[in-house]
Structure 1
Amino acid sequence: DEIITLRRRALYCTPTEHPNYSSAAVSLADVLSERFEKEGERGDLDEMIPIRRAALEMSTRGHGEHLESLVNLVNCLDQRFRLDKTMEDMTEIITLRRTLLELTPSGHPRRFAHLCDLANILDQRFKKA
């Protein structure tokens, strides 16, 4: 909890235009993610989604950090979708998974996994309709 408090303080004391803001955001989201995985505290998930979204928006499309931020955000949304089953999350997950597939080059070792993940969420949408 102390590390989360310190990382929150670091993030909220850093101006958004500062070059280290993105890394401070990712650091906080990472420790929130770890705690969520261990304790299942819903507040951690709710806090990390906007942070992951901000990190994605600040990254440069096509660069490694952008893909990593995209994966991190979609994974958070997947976790929330498993809990809430909202169409809003499902729609955003589909959009982000399509973007992720589009940005992952053919032959990349993760491309097949991204394709399967997209197929799974599309299948869930089909079954829900």
Structure 2
Amino acid sequence: PVEVEDLSKHKKDSEELVIDERATEIVNTAKNNKRRICAVGTTAMRGLESAVSSDYMLNTFDGWTNKFIFPPYEFSIANAMVTNFHLPKSTLLMMVSAFMGHDLMKRAYKEAIIEGYRFYSYGDAMLII
């Protein structure tokens, strides 16, 4: 969980990522053709956002990222996302809030609780469009 008031001071764990040339070609072609690009999971989303070029296209990437995405944040690559229902005060929930907007996120989570959805890694998932 995040335990600092100033989110810019939170230290995010690093993840190792590889985005190869073929993946960048597919994603950038889809982006140029205004197609839907769906990040499947928060690691995929962090990877995409860690490899964005200055002209908002995807670069190849082979390394580690500790990118911490929280509101407000303007996403550059994906315009859809599949993710689990995350725990309160988690960095993953903050990324989801940045992606779908805080009010919609609160409504979705309220509905998930009412309907008995399971949270965390082995729980239910949602598609955010």
TM range (shorter): 0.3 to 0.5
Q: What is the TM-score normalised by the length of structure 2?
A: 0.33
Q: What is the TM-score normalised by the length of structure 1?
A: 0.33
The answer to which structure has the higher helix fraction is 1
The answer to which structure has the higher strand fraction is 2
Higher relative CO (Cα under 8 Å, sequence separation at least 6) belongs to 2
